[in-house]
Amino acid sequence: MPTAHEAEKQHTGPAEADQPPSMSSHAGAPAAPSRNPCCLCWCCCCSCSWSEGRRPAWRASGESKLQPLPSCEACTPSPEEVQSWAQSFDKLMHSPAGRSAFRAFLRTEYSEENMLFWLACEELKAEANQHVVDEKARLIYEDYVSILSPKEVSLDSRVREGINKKMQEPSAHTFDDAQLQIYTLMHRDSYPRFLSSPAYRALLLQGDPPSSHEA
């Protein structure tokens, strides 16, 4: 009878219509959380479609822009330049070949992320396009600041809180305090070990006259 059929439709229709879109499919496969709204807090839990949609392109461009340093491994620094690295950490870090050698040393100590973070911050500070700054800042946060990242750098709570506030409106200098803290960490902790490492001593020996190796 039509009245019973209509009554059944009137019972089921509104119940389905009242359910919000993100909660409407519990019976089938579990639905992934909605990724349409982009979260405003750039903490480790943030995973929005805005960042995921642009991650591959920017990660690829970021890696390609940070690769010129390893190319310095093909160049041989002069003996004077290698010796100057022992004079100060600043001289080491201002030398492309020095940064490359130091980065290789950090890799052996499983702390290469410190140099990668410092380099990423340098690249960010050189960027003038605000849209690019926003995207690169988000990637730096996800790669080196998020507690979920395998490349997380060691930062104190004060610096982390400052970054979280600045990430609401990222700028080219969002990570300045963090960059300085990691620079200081590398200077005090890794740099002295680098100078006494076999890798650095080998570089010093490369300055010997070629005749001493050809004899």
Distances (CA, A) of 5 to 8, 11, 16, 118, 174: 5, 10, 17, 69, 63
Residue 9 has, within 13 A of its CA and on its CB side, a CA count of 6
154: pLDDT strictly greater than 70: yes
Q: Mean pLDDT, the chain, as a whole number?
A: 76
Contact of 169 with 48, CB cutoff 8 Å:
no
**Domain boundaries, given as residue ranges, for the chain:** 78-206
Between 78 and 13, whose confidence is greater? 78
Q: Which of 66-70, 82-86, 93-97 has the lowest mean pLDDT?
A: 66-70
56: pLDDT strictly greater than 80: no
Question: For residue 205, which of 95, 89, 103, 197 has the smallest C-alpha distance?
Answer: 197
- Position 137 scores a pLDDT of 98
- Position 187 scores a pLDDT of 98
163 contacts: CB under 8 Å, gap ≥ 6: 141, 145, 155, 174, 175, 177, 178
> The pTM is what?
0.65
Q: What is the mean pLDDT of residues 70-82?
A: 73
Residue 124 has, within 13 A of its CA and on its CB side, a CA count of 24
Token duo for residue 90:
């600043």
Overall fold of domain 78-206: Regulator of G-protein Signalling 4; domain 2 (1.10.167)
CA distance 116 to 143: 10
**Cα angle 151, 156, 157; round to 5:** 110
Per-residue pLDDT tens for 158-212?
999 999 999 999 999 999 999 999 999 999 999 999 999 999 999 999 865 554 4
CA distance 42 to 166: 10
